[in-house]
Amino acid sequence: MSEEIAALVRRLASESREDRAAAQDALTALGAPVVKHLLPLLRNEQTPGNSAAESCLESLGHAAIDPLREVRAEGPGSLRKAALRMLATIGGADALSDADRAAVERLVQIKLPDEEPGDLPADCWIAVPEAEIGDIVRALDLHDARPVTTAMGLSAAVEHENSLRRPTEDGGVTTAYRVFITPEFDGWRLIYGADYLNDNWAQIVTRLSAHCWEAHFYAIDDYNGAQVWWVSENGHDKRGYRTYGDPEWIGEPMEFERNLMPGGDAHDDEDDDAEQYAEGVRDPEEVASSISIQPTVVEVLDRVGHGWLAVTDPDVGHGRFRGALDI
């Protein structure tokens, strides 16, 4: 059996896509015994067959968990790191041993005080000014909020699995989300959650502004050529723009927009660029730079505290979300 597995593993590095696919299917069919043979290919991303081996382990799913746990416990040491990453990828934190979960938590605590967040994603986010973390958690009815580095929070809420569907007692289905709340930057906290914001942004920004006085939503979809920005105060929509909205605009232009409109302080009546601002400002990043903060410049802003990662469903903890998170 070992020789058969070894031969199939070598074929994962074949130049033929068909040969690689056939080897992957055959290895998946063999089940748990192939795990220890695949792990050496994961020690280095440049190793031939690396991505095919990872895909094969993911296809094995829960059948790979016990062999991976065995490697974590008994070695060899050179494969322990790859085994830990695959355990998190396949089964989330619930697949890790108590010792591994404790080690991850210690590493987070070590990194929190001196982390350098770097620039944040600028495709979809919410900004809230001068809000305590507890106010945001209560406003959105979040649960199990825990300190995380910015890298870990973004990894969990944007880059990896960040929503789960589960059955309810009445026979329906509900969705649980992961939500990341950033440290405070120049008085602003940003909120990320790829699926959470995509599915619920209108309700989220309204609820936040009702509890925290003000909240902004920004989204840039380059693929569909869509831009959205929305400002809510005290639970009511104040001003917003949606590329494909009906209506496209809501509310009255804000002061920074009026300054850019024809006749405003920032333009004279003959300015060639004035026409683009005839109805208001469309670019979310330009809006954010005028009335909140841009995610791409937080590295140079004053930072207070650390980020928090939370879930929306009290019956779904962090451990069920799959993905090997950055720290």
Query: 126: domain range?
Result: 116-243+282-320
Q: Let me know: does 186 contact 301? Beta carbons within 8 Å.
A: yes
Residues 316 and 176 reside in one and the same domain = yes
Last residue in a domain, options 34, 57, 91: 91
Per-residue pLDDT tens for 236-271?
999 999 999 999 999 999 999 999 988 777 655 555
Residue 80 in tokens? 């322990």
**Pairing label, strands 143-148, 307-311:** antiparallel
Residues 6+ away with beta carbon under 8 Å from 21: none
Residues 13 and 59 reside in one and the same domain = yes
Last residue in a domain, options 91, 126, 147: 91
Residues 65 and 197 reside in one and the same domain = no
In a domain, 37, yes or no: yes
In a domain, 316, yes or no: yes
Q: What DSSP state is assigned to residue 159?
A: I
Q: Which of 136, 105, 5 has the alpha carbon at shortest distance from 318?
A: 105
In a domain, 263, yes or no: no
What is the domain count for the chain?
2
Residues 183 and 299 reside in one and the same domain = yes
Residues 125 and 229 reside in one and the same domain = yes
- Beta strand ranges found along 193-318 (DSSP E): 214-221, 226-233, 236-242, 249-250, 303-304, 307-311
**Phi-psi bin for 31: left (phi > 0), alpha (psi -120 to 50), beta?**
left
Residues 75 and 126 reside in one and the same domain = no
Residues 71 and 188 reside in one and the same domain = no
**Phi-psi bin for 171: left (phi > 0), alpha (psi -120 to 50), beta?**
left
Residues 131 and 85 reside in one and the same domain = no
In a domain, 252, yes or no: no
Distance CA 190, CA 146 (A): 16
Last residue in a domain, options 55, 76, 91: 91
pLDDT of residue 43: 86
Once rounded to an integer, what is the mean pLDDT over residues 300-327?
94
Once rounded to an integer, what is the mean pLDDT over residues 300-309?
94
Residues 314 and 169 reside in one and the same domain = yes
* Buried b or exposed e, range 310-322, using 16+ CB within 10 angstroms: bbbbeebebebbb
Residue 149 in tokens? 């580095």
Once rounded to an integer, what is the mean pLDDT over residues 212-226?
96
In a domain, 256, yes or no: no
Residue 274 has pLDDT above 70, yes or no: no
Residues 128 and 56 reside in one and the same domain = no
Q: What's the pTM?
A: 0.91
Residues 224 and 295 reside in one and the same domain = yes
Distance CA 32, CA 70 (A): 12
Per-residue pLDDT tens for 88-136?
999 999 999 999 999 999 999 999 998 988 889 999 999 999 999 999 9
Q: Let me know: does 164 contact 315? Beta carbons within 8 Å.
A: no
Question: Cβ–Cβ contacts within 10 Å for residue 5, how many?
Answer: 18
Residues 152 and 195 reside in one and the same domain = yes
In a domain, 327, yes or no: no
Pick from 8-22, 52-66, 196-210: least confident: 8-22
Per-residue pLDDT tens for 7-53?
988 998 888 888 889 999 999 999 999 999 999 999 888 888 899 99
In a domain, 268, yes or no: no
- CATH number, domain with residue 11: 1.25.10
In a domain, 104, yes or no: no
